[in-house]
C-alpha cells in the first residue's frame, strides 16, 4: 500500500509538471495612456471633425475622451480655423469652401493637457470622381465543406491621371431595404384578440444603414498606367436580408499622400487580424502628429488631409441564392404570452386558429434594428 | 510589371564567397596563453522563426533570387591562465561579430499564410560583442566551473522607403540578445561512496514586442505595440541538484550498482517558454506558458558488471 502511495505521488508530480499556462501581465514602464488625435480634412465644404482621446491599458478597453482642448487647423497662407467641442472629445467646425483648396497645405494644432501637438503640413491632393462601382456574384467557401456562401462582391476601378494623387482609400456606408414576413391585421393585447380592420403595412417596410468598418486602400504608385482595375471592396453575403429587396452602397473616395497611404495600410493590416493577435509581425504605427516639445512622444492617430469624391450605387437585382429561413415559422401557442410582450402580432388562419410567429421581427421590421423612415435618396 | 523567364536547367542565381579562418595561439608563460582568432562564415540556409505566437513556428529557408546569403566576420581574443596550486583554470575571452545580410521579418509580415517569403523579409546588418569569463576547478573532492558572459546583439535594417525599414530605421535588439548568461556546475565528493552535484543556469529573457494599450480611431479599436524587441520576457533561472550513492566498494564483486536521485528545477520556477496574448471579449489578456514548471524528481538505479572501478 505504501508503494501504491508513492506511485500515486510520483504520477501527480509528473502530470503537474506538464506545460501550464497562467495569466501574465508584463511590467510596462511605458506610459499606457498616450494621447490619440485623429481627424480628416476634406476639400468639400461642410462640417469637419477632430477626435481627441486617450489610449487605455489593454485589459480594460474603453473610449476615454480628452475634453477642453484647443483645436485649430492652419493652412500655409496663414489662415486658421478654430474648432469647438460639441461632445466630449469631439471637436467640430463648419468650414467654407474658400478655405479648402487643392494644392494648399494644412496642419493641425492641438493644445491638450498642457502640451502642444502639431502635425506635419499635409498637401490637399485632388481626388478624381469615383469610377464605376460594379458587382459580381461570387461564392465563398466556408470551414464546413458542404456549406458555401453566395453573395456579391463589389469592385471599383481607379483612374488617376497626372495631377491627381497616387494613393486612395475608400470608406463605405451601406443602406438596405428589407421587409417583415407578414402584414399585421390582428394583435393580442389585454388578453383579447384585436382586429385592425384591414392589413397594415406600417411596420412592414424598413430601411437600415450601417457604416462599414473595413479599410480599403489602393495605389497606382508602382504601376505604369495611371489606373487600377477591379479593386475589391465589400462582399455582401446571403446570410443576412441585405440583398433581399434593395441594397445601396455609398462610397467616399479619399485621396492620400504616400505617408498617409502607408499609415492606412498599417492600420488595415492590424484590423484584418481576425481574433488572434500576432498573426502578423506586430509593429508600432505612427501618424504625422508630434509633441512640439518632445519629439519622442508617441502620438497616436493621424491628421488626414484628403480630396473627397462620393458616389452612391443601388442594387435592385432580385437574387435567388437565399437559403431556407426558418426564423418566421408560425405555430399555435399553448398559452397566452405574458403581458410584458404585448402587443403580440398574430395571424388568424382560415379556420379561425390563432398562430404566432416565433420572432416579433416577423411582423415588426423595426425589431431588426431598422427604421420605417425612408431615406431621402431612396 | 514584368516577368523574368528562365529556361529549364538555367541557373537563376548563384552566390559564392570565400570562408576564411585564422587563429594564433601565443604562450605568455608556462601557465598562460593568449589566443586570437578571426573567421568569416557564409550561410546559405537559415531559419525563419516566429517565436511570438502561442506555438512557435520554425521554417528553414534557402537563399534565393531575392534573399542574399548572410555572412559574418568574427574576431575574438582570449587570455587563458592556469593556477596549478589551487587546481584552477581561468579564462577571459572577448569577441566582436558583424553579420551582413542578416534576415528578419518586416513590420506587418504575415507568418503562416504567405508563400512568397521574400516579400515578408528584409535584410540588413547585425552586430554583436561580448565578454566571457570562466573559472574551472578540477580537484578530486570538488570540481566544476563557473562561467559568466555579458553580450549585446543588435540589428539595423533600414532603407529609403518606409516599408524597407524595420523599427523606423533605428537599431533594435536582436531576437537572441541575452545580456547576462551565468552557469555554475559543481560536483562534490564527500567520500568515495557519496557525491553531490548541482548546476545552476541563469540567462536574461529574450527580447519581445509587447502590446501596450488600446486606442480608438473612428470607433474602431487598435492595439498600440511597443517598439520592436523593446521589452524582455521574464528571465530564465534553473537549479538542478543530484545525489549519487555508490554501493559497497568491495574489490571482488560480480556487479556494482549505484543510486542516483536527481531533482530537475529544484526551486520549481515557472520559466517562461513562451509569452503570448489573446484577444478575448474585446480585452487583451497576456499568458505565460511554461514547460516543466515544477520540480521533477527522478530516481534511477544503475548497475554494471564488475566492481566500482571497472568501466
Beta carbons of B223 and A32 less than 8 Å apart: no
- pLDDT tens digits, residue range A108-140? 999 987 889 999 999 999 999 988 899 998 888
Beta carbons of A58 and B214 less than 8 Å apart: yes
In this predicted structure, what is the pLDDT of residue A6? 61
Q: Are residues B140 and B223 in the same domain?
A: no
Average pLDDT of chain A, as a whole number: 84
Q: Are residues B220 and B116 in the same domain?
A: no
For residue B51, pLDDT over 70 is answered with no
Answer yes or no: is B104 within a domain.
yes
Residue A25 has its nearest CB partner, among B217, B219, B286, at B286
Looking at chain B, the whole-number percentage of residues with pLDDT higher than 70 is 95
* Residues 6+ positions from A204 with CB-CB distance below 8 Å: A179, A180, A183, A184, A365
Answer yes or no: is B8 within a domain.
no
For residue B260, pLDDT over 90 is answered with yes
Q: Are residues B89 and B144 in the same domain?
A: yes
Please give the grid coordinates belonging to residue A275: 481574433
Q: Are residues B32 and B171 in the same domain?
A: yes
Task: Name the domain boundary from B177, B199, B226.
Answer: B177
For residue B137, pLDDT over 90 is answered with yes
For residue B13, pLDDT over 80 is answered with yes
Q: Which domain holds residue B172?
A: 17-177
Cα A244 from Cα A158, distance rounded (Å): 29
Core vs surface per residue A229-255: b (16+ CB within 10 A) or e: eebebbebbbeebbbbbbbbbbbbbbb
Q: What is the mean pLDDT of residues B73-102?
A: 94
Q: Are residues B125 and B101 in the same domain?
A: yes
For residue A3, pLDDT over 70 is answered with no
In this predicted structure, what is the pLDDT of residue A13? 54
Beta carbons of B287 and A280 less than 8 Å apart: no
In this predicted structure, what is the pLDDT of residue A4? 58
Q: What DSSP assignment string belongs to A204-270?
A: TEEEEEEE----EEEE-TT-SSSEEEEEEEEEEETTSGGGSSEEEEEEEEEEE-HHHHHHHHHHHHH
Answer yes or no: is B6 within a domain.
no
Cα A73 from Cα B146, distance rounded (Å): 64
| Positive/negative CA dihedral, B227, B228, B233, B235 | negative
In this predicted structure, what is the pLDDT of residue A20? 80
In this predicted structure, what is the pLDDT of residue A253? 93
Beta carbons of B105 and A281 less than 8 Å apart: yes
Answer yes or no: is B238 within a domain.
yes
Q: Are residues B65 and B159 in the same domain?
A: yes
- pLDDT tens digits, residue range A163-179? 888 999 999 999 999 88
Q: Are residues B160 and B235 in the same domain?
A: no
In this predicted structure, what is the pLDDT of residue A274? 59
For the entire predicted model, the pTM comes to: 0.83
Q: Chain B residue closest to A10 (CA)?
A: B297
Q: Are residues B160 and B278 in the same domain?
A: no
Q: What is the mean pLDDT of residues B172-188?
A: 93
Task: Name the domain boundary from B177, B211, B245.
Answer: B177
Q: Chain B residue closest to A19 (CA)?
A: B291
Q: What is the mean pLDDT of residues A306-315?
A: 92
Q: Are residues B215 and B168 in the same domain?
A: no
| Positive/negative CA dihedral, A319, A321, A324, A327 | negative
Please state the domain count of chain B.
Answer: 2
For residue A14, pLDDT over 60 is answered with no
Answer yes or no: is B1 within a domain.
no
- pLDDT tens digits, residue range B155-174? 999 988 888 888 888 999 99
Q: Are residues B242 and B155 in the same domain?
A: no
Residue B212 has its nearest CB partner, among A13, A30, A279, at A30
Q: Are residues B133 and B68 in the same domain?
A: yes
Answer yes or no: is B3 within a domain.
no
Q: What is the mean pLDDT of residues A53-76?
A: 89
Contact (Cβ atoms closer than 8 angstroms) between residue A205 and residue A365: yes
Answer yes or no: is B10 within a domain.
no
Beta carbons of B294 and A276 less than 8 Å apart: no
Residue that wins the pLDDT comparison between A204 and A254? A254
Answer yes or no: is B48 within a domain.
yes
Q: What is the mean pLDDT of residues A57-67?
A: 87
For residue B311, pLDDT over 80 is answered with no
Shortest Cα–Cα distance, B249 to chain A (Å): 29
Looking at chain A, the whole-number percentage of residues with pLDDT higher than 90 is 30
Task: Name the domain boundary from B177, B193, B220.
Answer: B177
For residue A28, pLDDT over 90 is answered with no
Q: Are residues B204 and B162 in the same domain?
A: no
In this predicted structure, what is the pLDDT of residue A17? 52
How far from A107 is each of A96, A206, A255, A336, CA to CA, in Å?
17, 43, 16, 65
Beta carbons of B225 and A56 less than 8 Å apart: no
Cα B156 from Cα B239, distance rounded (Å): 36
Looking at chain B, the whole-number percentage of residues with pLDDT higher than 90 is 46
In this predicted structure, what is the pLDDT of residue A9? 59
Q: Which of B55, B217, B283 is the best mutation test for A, with the most CBs of A within 10 A?
A: B217
Contact (Cβ atoms closer than 8 angstroms) between residue A180 and residue A359: no
B226 inside 8 A of chain A by CB = yes
Amino acid at each position: 500500500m505504501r508503494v501504491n502511495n508513492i506511485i500515486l505521488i510520483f504520477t501527480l508530480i509528473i502530470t503537474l509538471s506538464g506545460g501550464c499556462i497562467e495569466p501574465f501581465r508584463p511590467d510596462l514602464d511605458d506610459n499606457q495612456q498616450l494621447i490619440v488625435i485623429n481627424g480628416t480634412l476634406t476639400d468639400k465644404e461642410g462640417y469637419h471633425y477632430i477626435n481627441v482621446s486617450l489610449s487605455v491599458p489593454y485589459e480594460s478597453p474603453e473610449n476615454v475622451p480628452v475634453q477642453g482642448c484647443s483645436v485649430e487647423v492652419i493652412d500655409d497662407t496663414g489662415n486658421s480655423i478654430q474648432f469647438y467641442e460639441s461632445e466630449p472629445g469631439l471637436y467640430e467646425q463648419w468650414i467654407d469652401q474658400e478655405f479648402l483648396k487643392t494644392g494648399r497645405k494644412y496642419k493641425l494644432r492641438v493644445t491638450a493637457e498642457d502640451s502642444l501637438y502639431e502635425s506635419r503640413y499635409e498637401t490637399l491632393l485632388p481626388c478624381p470622381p469615383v469610377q464605376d462601382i460594379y458587382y459580381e456574384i461570387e461564392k465563398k467557401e466556408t470551414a464546413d465543406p458542404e456549406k458555401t456562401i453566395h453573395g456579391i462582391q463589389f469592385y471599383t476601378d481607379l483612374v488617376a491621371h497626372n495631377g491627381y494623387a497616387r494613393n486612395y482609400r475608400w470608406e463605405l456606408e451601406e443602406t438596405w431595404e428589407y421587409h417583415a414576413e407578414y402584414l399585421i391585421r390582428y394583435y393580442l393585447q389585454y388578453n383579447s384578440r384585436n382586429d385592425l380592420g384591414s392589413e397594415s403595412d406600417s411596420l412592414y417596410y424598413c430601411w437600415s444603414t450601417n457604416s462599414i468598418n473595413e479599410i480599403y486602400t489602393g495605389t497606382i504608385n508602382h504601376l505604369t498606367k495611371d489606373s487600377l482595375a477591379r479593386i475589391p471592396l465589400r462582399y455582401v453575403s446571403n446570410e443576412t436580408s441585405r440583398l433581399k429587396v434593395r441594397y445601396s452602397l455609398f462610397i467616399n473616395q479619399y485621396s492620400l499622400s504616400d505617408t498617409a497611404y502607408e499609415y492606412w495600410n498599417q492600420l488595415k493590416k492590424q484590423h484584418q487580424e481576425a481574433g488572434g493577435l500576432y498573426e502578423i509581425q506586430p509593429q508600432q504605427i505612427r501618424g504625422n502628429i508630434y509633441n512640439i516639445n518632445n519629439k519622442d512622444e508617441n502620438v497616436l492617430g493621424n491628421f488626414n488631409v484628403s480630396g473627397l469624391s462620393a458616389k452612391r450605387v443601388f442594387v435592385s437585382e432580385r437574387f435567388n441564392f437565399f437559403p431556407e429561413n426558418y426564423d418566421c415559422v408560425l405555430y399555435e401557442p399553448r398559452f397566452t404570452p405574458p403581458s410584458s410582450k404585448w402587443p403580440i402580432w398574430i395571424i388568424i388562419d382560415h379556420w379561425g386558429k390563432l398562430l404566432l410567429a416565433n420572432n416579433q421581427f416577423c411582423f415588426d421590421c423595426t425589431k431588426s434594428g431598422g427604421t420605417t423612415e425612408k431615406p431621402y435618396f431612396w | 510589371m514584368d516577368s523574368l523567364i528562365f529556361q529549364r536547367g538555367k541557373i537563376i542565381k548563384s552566390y559564392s564567397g570565400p570562408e576564411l579562418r585564422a587563429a594564433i595561439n601565443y604562450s605568455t608563460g608556462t601557465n598562460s596563453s593568449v589566443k586570437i582568432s578571426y573567421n568569416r562564415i557564409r550561410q546559405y540556409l537559415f531559419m525563419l522563426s516566429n517565436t511570438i505566437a502561442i506555438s512557435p513556428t520554425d521554417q528553414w529557408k534557402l537563399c534565393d533570387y531575392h534573399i542574399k546569403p548572410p555572412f559574418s566576420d568574427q574576431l575574438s581574443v582570449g587570455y587563458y591562465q592556469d593556477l596549478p596550486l589551487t587546481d584552477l583554470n581561468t579564462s577571459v575571452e572577448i569577441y566582436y561579430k558583424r553579420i551582413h545580410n542578416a534576415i528578419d521579418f518586416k513590420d506587418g509580415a504575415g507568418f503562416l499564410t504567405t508563400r512568397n517569403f521574400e516579400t515578408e523579409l528584409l535584410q540588413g546588418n547585425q552586430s554583436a560583442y561580448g565578454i566571457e569569463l570562466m573559472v574551472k576547478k578540477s580537484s578530486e573532492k570538488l570540481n566544476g566551473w563557473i562561467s559568466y558572459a555579458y553580450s549585446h546583439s543588435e540589428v539595423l535594417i533600414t532603407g529609403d522607403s518606409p516599408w524597407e525599414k524595420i523599427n523606423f530605421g533605428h537599431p533594435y535588439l536582436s531576437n537572441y540578445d541575452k545580456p547576462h548568461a551565468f552557469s555554475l556546475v559543481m560536483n562534490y565528493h564527500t567520500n568515495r561512496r557519496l557525491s553531490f552535484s548541482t548546476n545552476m543556469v541563469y540567462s536574461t529573457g529574450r527580447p519581445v514586442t509587447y502590446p501596450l494599450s488600446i486606442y480608438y480611431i473612428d470607433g474602431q479599436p487598435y492595439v498600440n505595440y511597443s517598439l520592436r524587441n523593446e521589452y524582455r520576457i521574464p528571465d530564465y533561472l534553473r537549479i538542478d541538484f543530484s545525489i549519487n550513492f555508490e554501493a559497497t566498494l568491495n574489490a571482488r564483486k560480480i556487479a556494482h550498482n549505484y543510486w542516483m536521485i536527481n531533482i530537475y528545477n529544484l526551486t520549481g520556477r515557472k520559466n517562461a517558454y513562451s509569452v503570448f496574448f489573446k484577444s478575448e471579449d474585446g480585452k487583451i489578456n497576456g499568458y505565460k506558458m511554461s514547460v516543466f514548471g515544477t520540480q521533477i524528481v527522478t530516481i534511477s538505479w544503475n548497475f554494471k558488471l564488475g566492481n566500482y572501478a571497472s568501466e
